[in-house]
């Protein structure tokens, strides 16, 4: 006796030349609540946070929908899942000062700009030409600088309730040491990943948190090499047929004695380090996402 299995496709399919993306409001809210609970559970295990009942989920959801409507995600910047994570972390931890290094178009600044708690935002990027936010329409006092985070004097700032976000693809060990010397305690790192995330980027944050946290498992002289294919990096020439071909970049990282010692020093300053929950299940992005894991770090 044979058994027949009948599979019915539960999806409705049609052909169309238009690109349709739609999620019902109730489904969006359900996903937002699930994401909130994920981040709240993670933070409550490791940080002092307000009681869950003190949050009005409907207000938080409406605020997030307004931020997403800005459509900054089509221009670059952080992915929408990481934007959601940053906004929820800010909503739950309630920093009065938000500091960012590498703001690009300003998407991650937007994640903290509507929080009641955030009174001031200080952000650094050498190139402000890509910045898309209208600071006059944002609530907190926002100061943007072209000099590097390492050069800024924070002595006049109250750092007790601050969060620093690094999305600058700079040596993570140096950033940890710099933040510690400035009296900053709570740090978030974007793209400071392991082999997969590092070797899919032209400008990774090397040495990344993966190497810093596991430095004693590696040895001086260890190296990794990889190749990246990118379009020609010229705003003018890339539109010409001859230059509209990808360029191949060969990259090499060698763990020198200097970098090894730097990782040891940075690692000794870390009290807590953990990957922030991945919220890709709760937010849709049409962009192809490589390993864009984010880590939250507290220093001694």
Assigned domain for 167 exists: yes
Give percent helix, percent strand, percent coil of the chain, each to the nearest 5.
35, 20, 45
Assigned domain for 248 exists: no
Q: What is the CATH number of the domain that holds 189?
A: 3.40.50.150
Instruction: Please tell me the least confidently modeled range out of 14-28, 90-104, 213-227, 247-261.
Output: 14-28
Assigned domain for 241 exists: no
Confidence of residue 286 (pLDDT cuts 50, 70, 90): confident
Query: Which of the 8 DSSP states describes residue 21?
Result: -
Has residue 226 got a pLDDT over 80?
yes
Has residue 239 got a pLDDT over 60?
no
Assigned domain for 8 exists: no
pLDDT in tens, 79-129: 899 999 999 999 999 999 999 999 999 999 999 999 999 999 999 999 999
Query: In sequence order, what DSSP letters do the residues of 207-264 get, joined into one string?
Result: S-HHHHHTGGGS-TT-EEEEEEEEE---TTGGGSGGG-SEEEEEEEEE--HHHHHHHH
pLDDT in tens, 177-186: 999 999 999 9
Assigned domain for 37 exists: yes
Q: Residue 120: which domain range?
A: 25-220+255-299
Helix (H) or strand (E) holding 121: strand 120-124
Better pLDDT: 137 or 223: 223
Counted domains in the chain: 1
Q: How far apart are CA 242 and CA 232, in angstroms?
A: 10
pLDDT in tens, 155-183: 999 999 999 999 999 999 999 999 999 99
**Confidence (pTM):** 0.91
Assigned domain for 225 exists: no
Assigned domain for 46 exists: yes
Confidence of residue 75 (pLDDT cuts 50, 70, 90): confident
Assigned domain for 10 exists: no
């Amino acid at each position: 006796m044979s058994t027949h299995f009948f599979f019915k496709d539960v999806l409705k399919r049609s052909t169309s030349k238009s690109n349709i993306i739609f999620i019902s409001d109730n489904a969006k809210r359900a996903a937002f609540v699930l994401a909130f609970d994920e981040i709240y559970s993670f933070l409550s295990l490791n940080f002092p946070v307000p009681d869950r009942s003190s949050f009005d989920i409907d207000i938080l959801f409406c605020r997030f929908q307004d931020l997403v409507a800005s459509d900054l995600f089509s221009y670059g910047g952080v992915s929408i899942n990481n934007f959601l994570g940053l906004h929820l972390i800010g909503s739950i931890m309630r920093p009065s000062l938000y500091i960012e290094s590498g703001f690009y178009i300003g998407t991650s600044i937007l994640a903290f700009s509507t929080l009641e708690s955030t009174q001031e935002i200080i952000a650094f990027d050498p190139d402000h030409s890509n910045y898309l936010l209208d600071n006059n329409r944002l609530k907190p006092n926002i100061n943007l600088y072209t000099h590097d985070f390492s050069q800024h004097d924070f002595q006049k700032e109250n750092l007790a309730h601050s969060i620093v976000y690094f999305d600058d693809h700079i040596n993570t060990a140096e950033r940890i040491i710099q933040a510690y010397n400035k009296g900053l305690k709570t740090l978030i790192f974007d793209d400071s990943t392991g082999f997969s995330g590092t070797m899919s980027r032209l400008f990774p944050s090397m040495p990344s948190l993966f190497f810093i946290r596991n430095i004693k498992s590696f040895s001086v002289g260890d190296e990794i090499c990889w190749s990246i294919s990118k379009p020609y990096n010229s705003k003018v020439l890339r539109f010409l047929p001859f230059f509209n071909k990808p360029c191949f970049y060969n990259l090499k990282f060698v763990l020198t004695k200097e970098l090894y010692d730097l990782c040891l020093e940075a690692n000794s300053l870390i009290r807590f380090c953990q990957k922030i929950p991945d919220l890709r299940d709760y937010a849709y992005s049409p962009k192809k996402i490589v390993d864009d894991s984010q880590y939250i770090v507290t220093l001694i």
